[in-house]
Amino acid sequence: MQKPFPIEFMKQSAMEKVLIALIPLYIFAVGTFGWRILLLGVVTSGVALATEWVFHRKSKKPFTKAVLVSALLFVLTLPPRTPFWVAAIGIIFGVVFAREAFGGFGRNVFNPAAAARAFVYVSFAKYLTAQWTAPSPVFMGGFTRYLTEPIDTLAHSTPMLIYRNTGVMSAFSDLFFGATAGSAGEGPAFLILAAGVYLFLKKVARIETTLSVFVGYFSISFLLSFLGFSEVFQPVWGFLSGGLIFGAVFMATDPITSPKTFEGRLIYGFIIGAVTVVIRSFALFPGGIMFAILIGNTFVPIIDELVKQIKKRGAVHG
């Protein structure tokens, strides 16, 4: 008699710590936008596990906690009103084409959550750019709602769109504490930074990667501002807006898709931060961090090889 597919997970302590770090963000997201966020997370996680099962059903390998991390990160990058079917298609794309197509966990070149977000952004722009939800006017009031009120006027939706349409910048305090409309979990900078500290202390994420993203972002922001490019956001305000901090803490630090060398991680993070500024300022996308991470992923093998060759030549000549 054929044994059933094992309903068990691999032992991945690093992924467990990332899941723990996401708990406060999900609590905040539900309290800000309603219980739909949690349901979206459950549905998307279930679809991600089912997708992984399709690829592993013959080998009967246990599920990976990494696929849950990808699904839950992906949900936090989505607007609260994103249809379930859009989220499902997005995570299927991320798992299949950004992970399993390369041989599964540990072999993927691209971050699955970032790939999923970029795919749905391009494929279903209506749901990702024009249907936003207002945060609860009462602190943690989302726990009494399935979903908070929709925003009818696009020009008065997210901080970046408001600025582009009216020139008005949201208050720094609102950005820092997540009291703004936008994606489900990219708003509360204070919680994301706290989660980052936890991951750094647990040695799950490399702090040099995140800091180099910030250095790349500020360097290019100040440079372009100094050169007179009016399209560039005010650097500190832009730092707190959108998903820059979220991407730098949770996605750029992915150990599978980031460089293995210390120097490589510095270069990689700088590229991501710099490209984010360029995309935000001169492309159609007000955010840019997800595309910047995927571009950075592309250069990881080259960066690591370049660092190794430089070190090798230095050792020979030394």
Rounded CA separation 88/71 (Å): 9
The pTM (predicted TM-score) of the whole model is 0.93
Distance of CA 110 to the CA centre of its chain: 12
pLDDT at 6: 54
pLDDT at 1: 42
- Nearest by Cα to 189 from 142, 147, 237: 237
For residue 63, give the DSSP letter: B
Q: Which residues of 79-92 are buried (b: 16+ CB within 10 A; e: fewer)?
A: bbbbeeebbbbbbb
pLDDT at 167: 73
Q: Is 186 in contact with 242 (CB distance < 8 Å)?
A: yes
User: Tens-of-pLDDT digits for all 318 residues of the chain?
Assistant: 445 545 687 788 899 999 999 999 999 999 999 999 999 999 999 999 999 999 888 777 888 999 999 999 999 999 999 999 999 999 999 999 999 998 888 889 999 999 999 999 999 988 988 888 999 999 999 999 999 999 876 656 788 877 777 778 888 888 999 888 889 998 899 999 999 999 999 999 999 999 999 999 999 999 999 999 988 889 999 999 889 999 999 999 999 999 999 999 999 999 999 999 999 988 877 678 999 999 999 999 999 999 989 888 876 665
pLDDT at 104: 83
Rounded CA separation 277/292 (Å): 9
**Cα distances (Å, whole numbers) of residue 237 to 139, 160, 163, 186, 273:** 23, 10, 11, 14, 15
Rounded CA separation 271/289 (Å): 11
**Cα distances (Å, whole numbers) of residue 203 to 30, 147, 212, 296:** 28, 36, 17, 22
Q: What is the DSSP string of 25-43?
A: HHHHHHHHH-THHHHHHHH
